[in-house]
Structure 1
Amino acid sequence: MSTTPFSVKLFSVLALLLLAFISSVLAESETSANSKAPIKPGNNDPRPTCVVKTLLNSTDDTPVILDAFKNCGHGGSIVFLNQTYNINTVMNTTGLRDCEIDIYGTLIWGKNISYWLNNSLPLGYQNQSSAWFLGGDNIKVRGHGYGTLDGNGQTWYDFVNGASNYPHRPHALTIWKATNSIFEGLRFVQSQMWTMTVIHSQNVLLQDIYVNSTSHDSKPARNTDGADTMFSDHITFKRWTVVNGDDSISLKANSTNIVIQDSTFYKGLGVAIGSIGQYKDVFETIENVYVDNITCYNTAYAAYIKTWTGQQVGYPPNGGGGGLGYAQNLTFTNFKMHNTTKTGAFYITQCTTFSGVAGDCNTSLFNLRDIHFTNITGDVGTSYVASMQCSAASPCSGIEIEGVDLMDVATVPETVTGLFKCSNVLNTTGFSC
């Protein structure tokens, strides 16, 4: 018969229970830190959640990020904490489904140029490539106003030294085959090249997004578009702020039903349609575009349209031409201008060709039609409202320019901006060529 006191037995049992509890907590903590498996956040939220924590003394946090997408990318939530994540490997996180992604910290891309040039992910168009493919159905990416993607862009601006479309220079983020999805509250700083490419996607809302890709030395921040669309339908941009050295937002091949609203652009080129018509004998379109309530500070234009000539000279990304198709039903309305600098607040050119080569500007068969430019106010650095060089082989038609109240601040005293440059423009409304 045991003579062990009851109090000793009770203490032993409690000690064993406490040890089991501590072991369980430590195991769960390790799982959460490394995102090896989803954890349940509580009874009020049945979604599995992967909390991504940076690895101790690691120079590359990509493995734990990819684990989080693997384990919680279907029906789960992925949370980036208020930490700095080092990204030194390409990421392909596509095919997500019903996934929520919250970014509270900063993802910063490494400076190993040779790695990115040899491993960036190809888009299959214009020889462009990307550092991160992200896509799927019903995904929500939230930055809460401070979640940041930092591309360490100055490294790239210095490296390419103004060279256009340097091969395999990666885009910061490619939204790839996304449907019924929302991206909001994100910050992009010093993007490596184009900030965001939306491709092969439908029904995507991108709102409350800040982009700043500017050079801090004499090397230009060229090819730092705020966003580009191609092969995509029903894409909406709302409340964007873009500070950069190239297109603020650009719509390229097969972009349809695009809305850009309530946004502010600094220093770049403004809203761009194109370039397009770069691939010989390939038929492409840009159709049903609505751009409304835009404020521009020191941009080259309010909006401009550019196509390649009808003659192929070289090959993409820096050469080409001879493409077919049309851009139609384009509306630009309610622009407020502050010191636009180039010739014409609104600009059309069908003369794009290989750098340094003079092409025939009257050969393009890509047609531009049904374009509306209305209600534009403010001050500009030119006496021209619009400069439009359309192709004689396929003249522009149905262009409306009305409700313009611009002052030319380049003159002393200031004068009203009211001139138009036109070639091969038919059926105008509100102005005469």
Structure 2
Amino acid sequence: MLARVTLPLLLLASARVQAKECTVVQASDGADDSPAIIDAFTQCAVDSTITFEQKNYSVLTPVSLTGLKNVTVKLNGNLLLPKNITDVQIQVNTTTNQPSSYAVPWFYIFGEDVSIYGSDDKDWGAFHGFGQQWWDIGQRILRPQLATFNVTNGLLSGLKVIYPVAWGFNLPGKNIRVENHYVWARPTNGTRDVTTSFPFNTDGLNVSGQNITIDGYFGENGDDCVSVINGARDVEVLNGYCGFSSHGLSIGSLGRGGSVQTVANVRFNNWTMDGAVYGARFKSWTGGQGFAENVTWSNIKLVNVSTGIFITQNYYDQDKGARPNNTNETATRVTNFRYENFTGTLGTNWTDGTCISSPCWNFVQGIDGSQAVIFDLYNGTATNISLVGIDIKKHDGGNPNVLCDPATLADGEQNTLGFQCTNGAFAKTDIKPDDGTGAAMRRGAATLAIGAVVLAALSTLV
């Protein structure tokens, strides 16, 4: 059956028709509900309310829900992907849904003024991916991203993501708010430190849009809780908990293959990172171009985290051989990064179950699990970084270490860093007042370099 459509009475006082209402009618005998979903979103694409009843809907084929305008969705039921891995792979390989940065989404949602509300009932309002069976056999080929929410003026409220195959929601739109988001990607039969049944690439939210607010998040997963990626601007990520083996509150990755990629104006505030590989992470690829600027991580509590604060501008695929030569002699520039009020403890393992190569994908020379801070910088391309209020202890309560090569610092950077850049014990330093000239010179140099990079990239298109 297709959607039930209701057309309410005319409001004579305002001389306009009330919004349409559509109810998605569940198919019988577990048949594919995707046609009914598409029908409801087609019939009620404008000035409408679409309701899923408190039932389990089998979404056996990917759906593309486009042309939406002023639509409210009430997800009172659950949306279930196929349980059969091969069926999912066939659909991923053939769907015309627009791919994201990582994979093809099972749900593609496009429009403006779109709100989706989950259920207050803990058992409803969920997307079920049945990812556990993928993790159990280590299947990482032709996996879907759960959803792309490519909306201008959007709201995702109270949604639950249960056992996703891999990546969760992708947010490339504008003016989006996500609140009270829940992700459960913790395996039933594995731990953070072993590869068996590890939930690879189970990112909670990937953000590439503009003016995005995430407020309220609980997740147990095996990759970034939130990653802010190329194109993102004006992003706030507030009030969350990351458990199991998160890879952090992340910027990037950026600059793969020497590409020009950019992120600006991001704030992470008031998070607990429990068992994570990283608390705060920035990652860009060897030879990358572009920039990340004006990023703050503040009020972060660490519980048995491998590394509290991590920057690398030199990432590469460790399982594909040695670090490639940086023939461009470039890096994704880092400017105005601030880390405030980090407290808590490190764990005993500097990696997790994603370590399936030798060396591990996150290996840096000297890492041993005692580092509160690791800065793997490219010479002179990271400026105006500061750490304030850092109180991180090793697992045994002792003082942690840092990895930081002072030869890679930009001129004058040690004065404003807030800790001694060295390969050794973490030692706080006073942030020296700047007369304006040093910071201005560094900002000016960074701006000129960024401009040159962007112009060079644009010249290749002419």
DSSP-derived class of the 1:63 partner: helix
DSSP-derived class of the 2:118 partner: strand
1:324 to 289, 297, 300: 289
Q: Structure 1 counterpart of 2:389, which letter?
A: G
Q: Structure 2 counterpart of 1:250, which letter?
A: S
Once residues 98 and 157 of structure 2 are traced to their aligned partners in structure 1, the CA distance between those partners, rounded to angstroms, is: 23
Check if 1:193 corresponds to 2:166: yes
The Cα shift of 1:38 comes to 3.7
| Alignment-derived partner of residue 421 in structure 1 | 404
| Alignment-derived partner of residue 356 in structure 1 | 320
| Alignment-derived partner of residue 204 in structure 1 | 176
Q: Structure 2 counterpart of 1:292, which letter?
A: N
2:148 to 174, 178, 197: 174
1:405 to 387, 391, 394: 391
| Alignment-derived partner of residue 11 in structure 1 | none
Once residues 41 and 60 of structure 1 are traced to their aligned partners in structure 2, the CA distance between those partners, rounded to angstroms, is: 33
Change (3 A) 1:62 1:384: same
Change (3 A) 1:373 1:179: same
Check if 1:140 corresponds to 2:115: yes
Change (3 A) 1:42 1:406: farther
Q: Structure 1 counterpart of 2:126, which letter?
A: T
The Cα shift of 1:58 comes to 3.8
> Given the two structures, how large is their TM-score scaled by the length of structure 2?
0.76
Change (3 A) 1:122 1:135: closer
| Alignment-derived partner of residue 365 in structure 2 | none
Change (3 A) 1:42 1:269: farther
The Cα shift of 1:360 comes to 4.4
| Alignment-derived partner of residue 105 in structure 2 | 130
The Cα shift of 1:105 comes to 1.1
2:67 to 92, 95, 98: 95
Please provide the CA RMSD for this pair. 2.2
The Cα shift of 1:139 comes to 0.7
| Alignment-derived partner of residue 30 in structure 1 | none
1:294 to 260, 263, 271: 271
The Cα shift of 1:349 comes to 1.3
Q: Deviation string for 1:284-314 (max 9, x for gaps)?
A: 201101000011111111111111111xxxx
Larger deviation: 375-384 or 417-426?
Answer: 417-426
Change (3 A) 1:215 1:43: farther
| Alignment-derived partner of residue 225 in structure 2 | 248
Kindly tell me the number of residue pairs found equivalent between the two proteins: 375
Q: Structure 1 counterpart of 2:309, which letter?
A: F
- Contact persistence 2:59–2:79 (CA under 8 A): yes
The structure with the largest alpha-carbon Rg is 1
- Give ranges in structure 1 of 5+ residues lacking alignment: 1-32, 311-322
DSSP-derived class of the 1:335 partner: strand
Q: Structure 2 counterpart of 1:391, which letter?
A: Y
| Alignment-derived partner of residue 314 in structure 1 | none
Q: Structure 1 counterpart of 2:152, which letter?
A: T
- Contact persistence 1:223–1:245 (CA under 8 A): yes
1:63 to 24, 35, 51: 35
- Give ranges in structure 2 of 5+ residues lacking alignment: 190-195, 348-368, 422-462
| Alignment-derived partner of residue 84 in structure 1 | 56
Once residues 257 and 402 of structure 2 are traced to their aligned partners in structure 1, the CA distance between those partners, rounded to angstroms, is: 34
Change (3 A) 1:148 1:429: same
Check if 1:368 corresponds to 2:334: yes
The Cα shift of 1:93 comes to 0.2
DSSP-derived class of the 1:114 partner: helix
The Cα shift of 1:59 comes to 1.8
The Cα shift of 1:272 comes to 1.2
> Given the two structures, how large is their TM-score scaled by the length of structure 1?
0.81
Q: Structure 2 counterpart of 1:189, which letter?
A: I
- Contact persistence 2:4–2:23 (CA under 8 A): no
